[in-house]
Amino acid sequence: MGFKHKDIIALRDLTKEDIELLISTAESMREINSRDIKKVPTLRGKTIINLFYESSTRTRTSFEIAAKRLSADTVNISPSTSSATKGETLADTALNLLAMKPDIIVMRHAVSGSHYFLSKKIPCSIINAGDGAHEHPSQGLLDMLTIKDKFGRLDGLKVAIVGDITHSRVARSDIQGLTKMGSHVFLAGPPTMVPPGVEKLGNVTVCPTMKEAIQDADVVIMLRIQQERQGKTLMPNAREYSRYFGLNPENLKLAKPDAMVMHPGPINRGVEMSSYVVDGDQSHILKQVENGVAVRMAMLYHVCGGELAE
Ligand code: NCD
């Protein structure tokens, strides 16, 4: 059974089978990344535009490396050097790029839902590299692959997500993906940073304290406070935040002894996590980054129809 979607905008739109297919393709793509010559002809002749309206280190580099490993041609555009600074609308930028016949546009944008808007206007594939506080599907997929690497499964796991849930597109994609795959997600954060009604997204429990969320957890995912999306600050100060919602070697002991610690990056060391935990034995943070390349190779491959170049 193949992948039927032209775009990947949100894990909410994918079935459990779609997610399984993307993860298993990423597992096989990984082998290419450990070769001496890390390149296959799979997407030869395809053109991919990375259109990033927001800052990015990991996601943009990872999509570019993924495309290059599959032999696609890539072009990167950032707003500071594009005509967005001259007042061009998103739709006009997209239509102009489309005139150059790209096969995929990978876009990051501050406006939630901007990818749905574009996908109605342009026929080429669109991959969401993060839209506002809505979704970040490649991060959700790479998180699931990293968890599956350790436990061999995703069902029946207790996954705690701690921090600024309201403004986190990573949290939304993780919740959508993990609950579809059978995990139980426990959330904790300051009341101003937990959206009302989030339990309705699936097998999700909102905990009054961080302690309850991480108690006996298999996985602890920590989030950065998305100050850039909050408008006004929603917490008294970083020290107080860290006292109630920061992960340190002491409170990590509440989780299962072999619990894995994850973070999408960028990390504010000493705020949401102590350096002991970031660099500690239970941290899988760099493994997430490593898996990101294979996951993005799988996404590019499947939106292009999942066929090999001759
Ligand atoms: C996240 C993002 O941009 O949503 N980072 C990432 O893509 N790895 C999380 C964040 O910015 O805190």
C-alpha 92 to ligand 1 mean position (Å): 27
136 lines ligand 1 (CB under 6 A): yes
- Give the annotated binding-site residues for L-aspartate: 86, 169, 224
pTM: 0.96
Secondary structure in 3-state letters for 18-29: HHHHHHHHHHHH
pLDDT number for residue 138: 98
- Give the annotated binding-site residues: 58-59, 86, 108, 136, 139, 169, 224, 265-266
Which CA distances in Å does 176 have to 16, 181, 189, 240? 10, 9, 18, 30
- Which tokens go with 42? 């799979």
CA distance 255 to 258: 8
Which residues belong to CATH 3.40.50.1370 in the chain? 11-136+290-304, 137-284
In DSSP terms, 188 is beta-bridged to: 162
- Which tokens go with 110? 């501050």
Top mutation candidate among 134, 139, 287 for ligand 1, by most atoms within 8 Å of CB: 139
- Which tokens go with 269? 């060391």
Cβ atoms 121, 99 nearer than 8 A: no
- Which tokens go with 59? 């996601």
In DSSP terms, 162 is beta-bridged to: 188, 222
CA distance 229 to 18: 30
C-alpha 105 to ligand 1 mean position (Å): 19
Only one residue has tokens 């935040």, namely: 241
How do the pLDDT tens digits run along the chain, 310 residues long? 689 999 999 999 999 999 999 999 999 999 999 999 999 999 999 999 999 999 899 999 999 999 999 999 999 998 777 677 788 889 999 999 999 999 999 999 999 999 999 999 899 999 999 999 999 999 999 999 999 999 999 999 999 999 999 999 999 999 999 999 999 999 999 998 999 999 998 899 999 999 999 999 999 999 998 878 777 777 768 889 999 999 999 999 999 999 999 999 999 999 999 999 999 999 999 999 999 999 999 999 999 988 655 4
C-alpha 264 to ligand 1 mean position (Å): 6
Residue 37, classified by CB atoms within 10 Å of its CB into exposed (0-12), middle (13-18) or buried (19+), is: exposed
Which DSSP state fits 56?
Answer: -
**Fold (topology level) of 137-284:** Rossmann fold (3.40.50)
180 lines ligand 1 (CB under 6 A): no
C-alpha 265 to ligand 1 mean position (Å): 6
**Type and span of the H or E element at 245:** helix 238-245
For atom 8 of ligand 1, which residue has the closest CA?
Answer: 264
Nearest to 209 by CA among 186, 185, 189: 189
**Fold (topology level) of 11-136+290-304:** Rossmann fold (3.40.50)
Which CA distances in Å does 79 have to 28, 87, 89, 100, 192? 34, 11, 12, 18, 31
